[in-house]
């Protein structure tokens, strides 16, 4: 028990030291550092400044007003050039599976389809199969054997429609939860929100891909 406590103490000390060594220090770490206390109060757990009620409310407002979807898309767009380099250099079976997806990516392509290709390739790059999450089907086949899926994003195609895909919908436990998601990437983001809100478990075949996303 003593050894476990000592290891935990050293780990927390190292973690706090890393936080303080960053370019932008964390105020909750700096305000309670021993250097800011009197010699008589030089104890880690003494006179610890705790956040005020107004500070907690402001932090809650800041977190809840952030558009997580928009932030995710901006980050994905920023990492896309580097991700494409890594994926194009990938060999083996995963590289072969990604090749036909990467061949559709070009500068003139709309940003939504480029995001879809990157997300699908990322799942393949991590050693899993994007077909475990995304399933393409025709409009007339949506209700024929596709609604019994545990967790899927159905990409519906309709040759007669002006837009492709005609619809993108999320199916959980055989129930159509959301439709008109637009594209695969947005559906993936919305699915992550549903997993969090409904306290669902990740699909066993897609655990790494969903965690990374």
Same domain, 80 and 138: yes
What pLDDT is stored for residue 43 in this prediction?
A: 54
| Distance of alpha carbon 122 from alpha carbon 97, whole angstroms | 11
Q: Does the pTM exceed 0.85?
A: no
pLDDT digits (tens, 9 = 90+) for 37-49: 555 555 555 555 5
What pLDDT is stored for residue 149 in this prediction?
A: 77
* Pairing status of strand 134-138 against strand 167-172: unpaired
| Tokens at 121, concatenated | 């390739």
Same domain, 104 and 190: yes
DSSP string, 40-100: GG--TTSS-----HHHHHHHHHHHHTS-HHHHHHHHHHHHHHHHHHHHHT--HHHHHHHHH
Q: How many domains does one find in the chain?
A: 2
pLDDT digits (tens, 9 = 90+) for 116-170: 999 999 999 999 999 999 999 888 877 765 666 789 999 998 877 777 788 999 9
107 within a domain of the structure (yes/no)? yes
Same domain, 26 and 88: no
Domain that holds residue 10: 1-33
Q: Provide the b/e sequence for 83-99 (b: ≥16 CB within 10 Å).
A: bbeebeebeeebbebbe
């Amino acid at each position: 028990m003593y050894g476990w406590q000592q290891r935990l103490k050293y780990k927390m000390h190292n973690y706090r030291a890393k936080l303080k060594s960053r370019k932008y220090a964390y105020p909750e770490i700096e305000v309670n550092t021993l250097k800011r206390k009197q010699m008589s109060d030089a104890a880690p757990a003494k006179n610890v400044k705790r956040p005020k009620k107004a500070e907690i409310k402001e932090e809650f407002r800041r977190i809840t007003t952030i558009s997580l979807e928009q932030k995710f898309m901006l980050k994905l767009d920023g990492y896309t050039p580097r991700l494409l380099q890594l994926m194009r250099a990938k060999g083996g079976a995963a590289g072969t599976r990604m090749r036909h997806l990467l061949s559709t990516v070009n500068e003139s392509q709309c940003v939504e389809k480029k995001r879809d290709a990157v997300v699908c390739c990322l799942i393949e790059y991590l050693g899993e199969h994007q077909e475990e999450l995304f399933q393409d089907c025709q409009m007339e086949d949506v209700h024929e054997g596709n609604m019994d899926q545990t967790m899927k994003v159905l990409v519906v195609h309709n040759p007669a429609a002006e837009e492709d895909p005609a619809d993108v919908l999320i199916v959980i436990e055989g129930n159509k939860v959301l439709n008109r998601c637009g594209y695969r990437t947005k559906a993936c983001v919305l699915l992550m929100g549903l997993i969090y809100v409904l306290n669902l478990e990740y699909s066993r075949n897609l655990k790494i891909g969903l965690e990374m996303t």
